[in-house]
Structure 1
Amino acid sequence: MRNESTYNLQRRIADGDEEAFRHLFDTYFDRVMQFLNGFLHDREAAEDLAQELFVKLWCHRDVLPDVQSLNGYIYRSARNAALNALRGQGRLVSLTQAADLSGSVLPDDLYYALEKQLLVDLTVDQLPDRPRQIYRMSRVEGLSNEEIARRLSISGKTVENHLNAALKRIRIMLRNFNALLC
């Protein structure tokens, strides 16, 4: 449920109040840009995308009074913009391609799963070399910890430690992702 001051801000923006919009922009821009950069790993592209998002928000400001969670609305818009940008770069399968692969109409659950998988992939890409290598050997290649240890000439405990660190990072990212959706 939104509070009265947020609703008033949304109402003022919908009525064309540039000062209210400036307040919204100043409050959210840096956070949205950092959020987008987490997806894109390109600060300049994230900044451009954040600016486009706020331009669209201003152009479609008339819908703001109906938005129940302004924070959720902004971050969902940012997430969708990031996914569209990644899809445009060929880094994410399109929803149509995913539907073709599944052989049916794409349900919301599959879309959500694709988003989560993208987030996991992006998180793994950000890991240091050794944990990233061990995670991929375990989860992508399906090797056991013993096989990984043998191939890399390291102890099983070292493999376990790197894998646990990678999984912890992924869990934190997914928890943050889920929190944004609420």
Structure 2
Amino acid sequence: MKNQDTYFLVKSLKKGDLKSFEKLYRMYYSKLHGFSNKFYSPTLQADDFVQQTFLKVWDEREHLKEDVLFDKQLYVICRNLILNNLKREKKMVSNQDFHLNSYEVIEENEEIFLKEELDKLNTGIEKLPKKRREIFLLHKRENLTYEEIAQYLFISTKTIANHIYLASNFLKEEFKKF
């Protein structure tokens, strides 16, 4: 089709003529698809860019320039859409990298926090009287029941319960100090 025919189609398109739009779409679809195929996007295909381009042409049809070749305007719109998309994708990838790095920092901070808490606990346990510390560790670290500890140390389960209670209260108070 001649440039003169395209000129009249663009002029009609600017007035909202859907038939002119359809003709221009059929005329330029394959050319624009070939152009879009030259760019790699992990999220969008060449068809997507072509569709977006023609949607933009329809939405912004009043701003088309009659004195500039339509195909030039079409390629510029398409190229800008592709470049904007590629910038967004690049930004998304860098944001994902940032979030991954943030998670690593959080994990490191959690490890430091847990180590500090464990150090506080061990310091508090060391301050317990010898027998209370032994009973507490047998129950909490070795997972022995009151009965098992009572049999092992030859004392009553009530005494075991009392020592565990007193040790727990002492350690709570120790944690409040930090």
TM-score (norm 2): 0.45
Return the structure number with greater relative CO, CA threshold 8 A, min gap 6. Answer: 1
Choose 1 or 2 for highest CA Rg: 2
